[in-house]
Amino acid sequence: MAKTKRPGPAPNISRPAAEKLIKQAKKDASEAAISLTITLMLTVLLDKFGMEEQIKDVYSAWNKLSEEVIEGRVKLHELRNVLRKEYEIGI
Q: Is the pLDDT of residue 1 over 60?
A: no
Residue 61 to residue 48: CA distance in whole angstroms: 20
Residue 76 to residue 79: CA distance in whole angstroms: 5
Residue 80 to residue 70: CA distance in whole angstroms: 15
> Taking a C-beta distance cutoff of 8 angstroms, is the pair 67, 76 a contact?
no
- H-type helices in the chain, by residue range? 15-47, 55-70, 76-87
Quick one: pLDDT at residue 69? 95
Task: Dump pLDDT digits (tens) for 24-52.
Answer: 999 999 999 999 999 999 999 999 999 99
Quick one: pLDDT at residue 5? 76
